[in-house]
């Protein structure tokens, strides 16, 4: 059977035009303390911002349908789809969409094993999450390419739309994903399904990122041959060595078209964002689920932003990191002058285990 690449499909860049965005209503008690009440203002802010620019599909379970209808009743542009799932990380459980030059768009349903399966996965019952991509394609009317022999999360890849992919070695070479495959085989699989010509392997991601360091938290394309990289000048911060290894790799790299990569540093918050005893008291963890501890440092990064058709939704962590937030806003406005930069309170999203990009998935026009 011919590959998607051979059939003319490629993965568009996130900064290219969208038909819609997909998100999932939060409810997992091991991710969202206090029935997701602290995080709900952040979700609502994101839903409103996205719905101003493009259609928004909001996946919701049957048990949360009425609550979701009440909370979103004043937000035009939202389509609620009742589909069962295990958590809210649409980037990783919803389809990765590819497009052909004639405009045909299809979704890819990768195998999902909760970021590591039996080796180091974050929860043990993920059957509904693994089935979600195909279920969404059916509900929303998109053809679906089933790739259940390859473990991949959408947060582990970024595309420039012109043949180049970004990923991290720490994630895609993790023993919890495709242990039976070599790096070269993984690269061929990515290129075959996503229509790419070259994969840029960053060594590491963000310190303490429990996804084995997804690339979408450390580095992202803002234009072809141009990226932002999470950074710190503090050599005593564990993140410094990780970001430096990525910078050194990018400075040596060229993209699929032979262009050098321009790197813009986007500093992480000056102060670590950590779990508090109050946060911890609101969780209810299932058997076999990865738990949290008071004082645990979370993987805070401004690189986990999300492009809509006209905007950039940018995480903001507040409190003592207000100056860091302002710095990130200024940098992104300078780098993306043709878009509105929408600050979204994200500290409570981070408590859930991810951030804005992790919670969203784009459907290209």
Catalytic residue among 94, 191, 336, 358: 358
Q: Both ends of the chain: CA-CA distance in Å?
A: 26
Q: Give the CA count within 13 Å in the CB-facing half-sphere of 361.
A: 30
Q: Are strands 361-364 and 18-24 parallel, antiparallel or unpaired?
A: antiparallel
For residue 293, the tally of other CB atoms under 10 A from its CB is 9
Q: Are 344 and 46 in contact (CB under 8 A)?
A: yes
List, edge to edge, every strand of the sheet that includes 226-231.
Answer: 219-223, 226-231, 262-267
Q: Report the distance separating Cα 291 and Cα 123, nearest Å.
A: 9
358 classed as catalytic? yes
User: If 0-12 CB within 10 Å is exposed, 13-18 middle and 19+ buried, where does residue 202 land?
Assistant: buried
Specify whether the CB–CB gap between 345 and 322 falls below 8 A. no
φ/ψ of residue 275, rounded to 5: -70, 135
Q: Is 87 helix (H, G, I), strand (E, B) or coil?
A: coil
Q: Which residues are annotated as catalytic?
A: 358
């Amino acid at each position: 059977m011919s590959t998607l690449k051979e059939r003319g499909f490629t993965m568009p860049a996130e900064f290219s035009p969208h038909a819609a965005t997909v998100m999932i209503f939060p409810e997992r008690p091991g991710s969202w303390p206090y029935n997701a009440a602290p995080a709900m203002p952040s979700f609502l802010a994101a839903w409103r911002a996205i719905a101003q620019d493009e259609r928004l599909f909001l996946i919701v379970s049957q048990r949360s349908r009425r609550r979701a209808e009440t909370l979103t009743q004043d937000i035009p542009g939202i389509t609620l789809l009742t589909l069962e799932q295990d958590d809210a990380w649409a980037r990783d459980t919803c389809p990765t969409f590819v497009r052909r030059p004639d405009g045909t768009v299809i979704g890819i349903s990768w195998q999902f094993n909760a970021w590591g399966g039996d080796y180091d996965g974050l929860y043990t019952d993920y059957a509904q999450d693994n089935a979600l991509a195909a279920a969404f394609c059916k509900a929303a009317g998109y053809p679906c390419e089933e790739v259940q022999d390859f473990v991949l999360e959408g947060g582990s890849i970024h595309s420039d739309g012109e043949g180049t992919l970004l990923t991290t070695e720490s994630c895609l070479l993790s023993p919890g994903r495709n242990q039976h495959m070599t790096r070269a085989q993984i690269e061929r699989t990515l290129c075959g399904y996503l229509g790419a010509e070259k994969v840029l392997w960053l060594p590491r991601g963000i310190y303490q990122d429990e996804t084995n360091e997804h690339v979408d938290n450390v580095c992202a394309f803002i234009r072809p041959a141009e990226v932002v990289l999470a950074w710190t000048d503090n050599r005593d911060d564990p993140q410094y060595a990780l970001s430096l290894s990525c910078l050194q790799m990018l400075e040596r790299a060229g993209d699929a078209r032979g262009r050098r990569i321009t790197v813009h540093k986007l500093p992480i918050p000056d102060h670590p964002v950590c779990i508090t005893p109050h946060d911890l008291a609101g969780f209810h963890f299932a058997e076999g689920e990865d738990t949290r501890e008071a004082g645990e440092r979370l993987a805070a990064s401004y690189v986990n932003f999300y492009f809509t058709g006209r905007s950039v939704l940018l995480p903001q962590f507040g409190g003592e990191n207000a100056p860091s937030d302002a710095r990130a806003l200024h940098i992104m406005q300078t780098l993306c002058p043709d878009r509105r930069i929408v600050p979204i309170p994200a500290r409570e999203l981070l408590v859930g285990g991810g951030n804005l990009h992790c919670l969203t998935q784009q459907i290209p026009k």
